[in-house]
Amino acid sequence: MFLGGNWKMNLTPSESEVLAKELLDFFREPLKVKVCVFPEFTALERVSKILKSSPIYLGAQNVAYEDKGAFTGEVSPNSLIELGVEYVIIGHSERRHLFKEDNKLLNKKVSKALDKNLKVIYCVGETLEEREKGDTFKVIQTQLEEGLKDVPLSSENLIIAYEPVWAIGTGRAATPEIAQEVHAFIKKVLGNNFLVIYGGSVKPSNAKSLIAQKDIDGFLVGGASLKAKDFFDIYKAMVGE
């Protein structure tokens, strides 16, 4: 299982340091699942120093599809690796819909990240309009096929995050049954060896019912990951404590 905390654009570097230190008060070895946090780029160096030698992995919220060059505003995978980053999120719905990153671009990012031995959290999910039209499976299959096209994949380097766009940051989580149905579909497409985690208003109050589903292998948490105790309570729900 895998638990990720996506801090998004919410904390300054100094605030990120505080949260990282608070997490170490809760998350002590040995952990029963892999736990990773994803700070802003500007906080990665500070958080990396705090988490070094801890059981918590470090991730980045995005990555460029080239090592170097004239790509103003982008961040090289080489820079992330130097800072101790092991995981990267690619294809989050906010990148897809706010910043217009399409499957073709995301495919380049996935390919580059894997080539650099970074582990990828590849996000898929439908909008409310697409769900209401009955296009959920069609949309997700396209995101999987186009975003992962011609990329050598293994269950060691790729995790899929199902994040229904209509549930992200809205407080409206998918029911366990809805999430399970989509997770099972993703595993049917890719194979049962891949972890498929759920993201979309995950909280301590709903984590237990979600993780009880057969094909939900963990979470990518947004708002609740900004409070160390809430994040740890989600972990406890995952491991049955």
Residues 6+ apart with CB under 8 A from 15: none
- Check if 92 is active-site: yes
Asked whether 216 and 197 are in contact (CB, 8 A), the reply is yes
Q: Residue 12's pLDDT is what?
A: 98
CB atoms within 10 A of CB 38: 27
Q: Residue 203's pLDDT is what?
A: 95
76-104 tens-digit pLDDT: 999 999 999 999 999 999 999 999 999 99
Q: Is the model's pLDDT at 26 over the cut of 70?
A: yes
Whole-number Å distance between alpha carbons of 209 and 34? 20
By CB atoms closer than 10 A (0-12, 13-18, 19+), residue 70 is exposed
Q: Is the model's pLDDT at 137 over the cut of 90?
A: yes
186-195 tens-digit pLDDT: 999 998 999 9
Q: Is the model's pLDDT at 62 over the cut of 90?
A: yes
48-61 tens-digit pLDDT: 999 999 999 999 99
Q: Which of 92, 94, 101, 126 is catalytic?
A: 92
Q: Is the model's pLDDT at 173 over the cut of 80?
A: no
Q: Residue 167's pLDDT is what?
A: 76
Q: Is the model's pLDDT at 154 over the cut of 90?
A: no
- Check if 163 is active-site: yes
Q: What are phi and psi of 3, to 5 degrees?
A: -125, 120
Q: Residue 241's pLDDT is what?
A: 85
Mean pLDDT of all residues belonging to the chain: 95
CATH superfamily ID and name for 2-239: Aldolase class I (3.20.20.70)
Q: Which of 40, 126, 163, 183 is catalytic?
A: 163
Mean pLDDT of 149-156: 90
Domain boundaries, the chain: 2-239
Q: Is the model's pLDDT at 125 over the cut of 80?
A: yes
More confident residue, 59 or 200: 59
Q: Is the model's pLDDT at 171 over the cut of 80?
A: no
Q: Is the model's pLDDT at 153 over the cut of 90?
A: no
Share of the chain above pLDDT 90, in %: 90
Mean pLDDT of 202-214: 96
Mean pLDDT of 37-53: 97
189: helix, strand or coil? helix
Task: State the sign of the Cα–Cα–Cα–Cα dihedral 90, 59, 46, 202.
Answer: positive
